[in-house]
C-alpha cells in the first residue's frame, strides 16, 4: 500500500444538510476499516487567516466582500497544500471571478452534494446566528451549487440528505470507498486547470 495516494473527497450542501455529521461518520468508518482518513473543515478557524474569517462570520469585524472571498480561498490553499465548503459565491460576483483563486488547488476525486430542501434544513437543529445563516443567502448558495454541478470536469454525486443518518452514511461510505480505490490508480489533478 505504501506510496498509494489518498483520495480527496469533499462533502457539500447547504447549512444543516448534514456535512459535519456525515464527514465525522465517514472518517470513523474509514479509520475502522484501516484507512488513514482525516477530516478537514473549511473554513478552518484556527489559523491566522481562519481567525480573520471567524471574526467576520461572527459579525465582530467587517471585511470587504472580494477580500473575504480571497481569504476563504487562502484558507483552502494553506490547508490543502500545507497539510494534506467551498466557495461562498457572492450574488454579484461572476462565477468565473470566484473560481480563479481556487485554480490549481488539489482537485477533489469526488464531490458529494448533500441535497436537502431549504425548508427541511430549516427544521433541523443548530441554526446559528452567523452571517451567512439565513434562508436568502442559503438560497443563493444553492443556485450557485447547481451552476457548479454543470461542470463536467468535477465528479459530483448527489446524495439525498433527507434520509436517515444511517442511510446517508451507507451511501457516502460506499461511494467513498470506491473512490479511494480508483484514486490510487490515477494521478492527482489540479482544480480547474
Ligand atoms: P452541516 O455541517 O451541513 O451544517 P450538521 O452535520 O451540523 O450539518 O447537521 C445539522 C443538524 O442536522 C444537526 O443537528 C444534525 O444532528 C442534524 N442532522 C444531520 N443529518 C441528519 C439526518 N440525516 N436526519 C435528521 N437530522 C440530521
Ligand atoms: Mg458543518
Please report the ipTM that was assigned to this predicted complex: 0.97
The answer on 98 and 71 residing in a single domain is no
pLDDT tens per residue across span 54-98: 999 999 999 999 999 999 999 999 998 875 444 444 556 788 989
User: Considering the entire predicted model, what is its pTM?
Assistant: 0.88
Q: What distance in angstroms lies between residue 181's CA and the mean position of ligand 1's atoms?
A: 28
End-to-end CA distance of the chain: 29
Specify the CATH number for the domain of residue 94: 3.40.50.300
Give a yes or no: residue 74 inside a domain: yes
Between residues 15 and 2, which one has the greater pLDDT?
15
The answer on 116 and 47 residing in a single domain is no
Atom of ligand 1 nearest to the CA of 124: 12
Contact by Cβ (8 Å): 89, 144: yes
- What is the domain extent for residue 51? 41-82
Q: What distance in angstroms lies between residue 2's CA and the mean position of ligand 1's atoms?
A: 35
The answer on 132 and 74 residing in a single domain is no
Give yes or no for residue 1 having a pLDDT over 80. Answer: no
The answer on 168 and 135 residing in a single domain is yes
The answer on 170 and 143 residing in a single domain is yes
Average pLDDT on 121-147 reads 83
Average pLDDT on 143-158 reads 94
Give a yes or no: residue 171 inside a domain: yes
Give a yes or no: residue 3 inside a domain: no
Amino acid at each position: 500500500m505504501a506510496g498509494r495516494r489518498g483520495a480527496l473527497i469533499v462533502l457539500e450542501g447547504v447549512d444543516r444538510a448534514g456535512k459535519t455529521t456525515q464527514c465525522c461518520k465517514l472518517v470513523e468508518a474509514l479509520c475502522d476499516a484501516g484507512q488513514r482518513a482525516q477530516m478537514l473543515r473549511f473554513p478552518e478557524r484556527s489559523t491566522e487567516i481562519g481567525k480573520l474569517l471567524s471574526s467576520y462570520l461572527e459579525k465582530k469585524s467587517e471585511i470587504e466582500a472580494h477580500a473575504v472571498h480571497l481569504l476563504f480561498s487562502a484558507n483552502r490553499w494553506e490547508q490543502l497544500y500545507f497539510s494534506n465548503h467551498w466557495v461562498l459565491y457572492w450574488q454579484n460576483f461572476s462565477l468565473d471571478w470566484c473560481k480563479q483563486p481556487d485554480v490549481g488547488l488539489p482537485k477533489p476525486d469526488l464531490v458529494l452534494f448533500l441535497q436537502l430542501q431549504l425548508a427541511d434544513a430549516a427544521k433541523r437543529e443548530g441554526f446559528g446566528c452567523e452571517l451567512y445563516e439565513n434562508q436568502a443567502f442559503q438560497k443563493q448558495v444553492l443556485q450557485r451549487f447547481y451552476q457548479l454541478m454543470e461542470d463536467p470536469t468535477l465528479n459530483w454525486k448527489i446524495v439525498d440528505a433527507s434520509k436517515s443518518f444511517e442511510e446517508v452514511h451507507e451511501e457516502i461510505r460506499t461511494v467513498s470507498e470506491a473512490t479511494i480505490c480508483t484514486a490510487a490508480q490515477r494521478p492527482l489533478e489540479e482544480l480547474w486547470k
